[in-house]
Amino acid sequence: MTVSDEELEWADKPDHHILESTSGDYPELLAQIPNAPQRLFVIGSLDVLHLPSLAIVGSRNPTRGGRDNAYEFARHLGHAGFSIVSGLAQGIDAAAHQGALAAGAPTVAFLGHGIDQVYPASNRQLAQLIAASGALCSEFPFGTQPRREHFPQRNRLISGLSLGILVVEAARRSGSLISARLAGEQGREIFAIPGSIHNPMSRGCHQLIRQGAKLVEDAADIVSELGPLVNHMLQTTDVKESPQLTQFNKDGDYRILLDALGYDPATTDELVKTSGLTIDQVSSMLLILELEGEIEAQNGGRYSRLQT
């Protein structure tokens, strides 16, 4: 497959990359999947393709609660040092990208069309924000239109770049369930958020849970599952680590939080009161401390320090 003159001209622009599978910058996790793309077109940073990542997917027409869940899970996991991967679609995808951006975390969008266009057009500004702090990626040549069959094909890349995939809301017949199936075939962890039995958008998640997906109620459930995989990834690859994971320091607010926690289990609300920190600060720092092996989550939403 040759590169066109138009694509070569495009690659001369700042932060535009044509990434061959033989390149040292090609993400190792993605290279391991069956039928990995021989070439990726990327706008943004190549470094973010090597960060510990979680995919978040779901309905294009979610409930307000589903959209809020996608946003908040992405925001908290972004604070914990994960890059958030999704597909730039309306609904859950867009909310996940927005949550990562709100956390100042990198986010990656895989496109079901050529990288010379944005679909849906309503997400054009979001695409620009993603490219500025993360990456837009496509395996499709210039001029490829957003056809229905392209989106299941790109879904294997969303899961392939990630350590795990979180399905937020999905009907029983849903592209998100295709993504989850592909993730399972790739050996990735599968997570699903349960919902009301009366909500059709919860039925796909319930089906996944019956099939063995891990039920999650908050972001800490995912951190505790993926923490060992993240540590293994950091130890066995040349991954370019994120600041949240590499610059962990027990000074400042972290010291205040650890002192407030002591060695007796405490809830998040109790820690907010005793530390003087905000709920957002405490929640994100607890995730990072748990990932770093400084604390452990216990029953009842309580946390305790580990003896060192």
Q: What is the pLDDT of residues 121-169, one digit of tens each?
A: 999 999 999 999 999 999 999 999 999 889 989 999 999 999 999 999 9
Structural domains of the chain sorted by starting position, each given as residue range(s) with its CATH number in brackets: 5-221 (3.40.50.450), 248-305 (1.10.10.10)
Residues 178-213, buried b or exposed e (16+ Cβ, 10 A)?
bbbbbbbebebbbbbbebeeebebbbbbbbbbeeeb
pLDDT at 128: 96
Q: Are 102 and 71 in contact (CB under 8 A)?
A: yes
Angle between helix axes 64-79 and 92-102 (nearest 10 degrees) is: 40
Peptide bond into 14 cis (omega under 30): no
Q: Give the 3-state secondary structure of residue 283.
A: helix
Can you give the pLDDT at residue 183? 94
Collapsing DSSP to helix, strand or coil, 165 comes out as: strand
For residues 30 and 49, the answer to whether their CB atoms sit within 8 Å is yes
What is the model's pLDDT at position 83? 94
SS3 32: coil
Collect the ranges in the chain with pLDDT lower than 50. Answer: 239-250
**What pLDDT score was predicted for residue 237?**
54
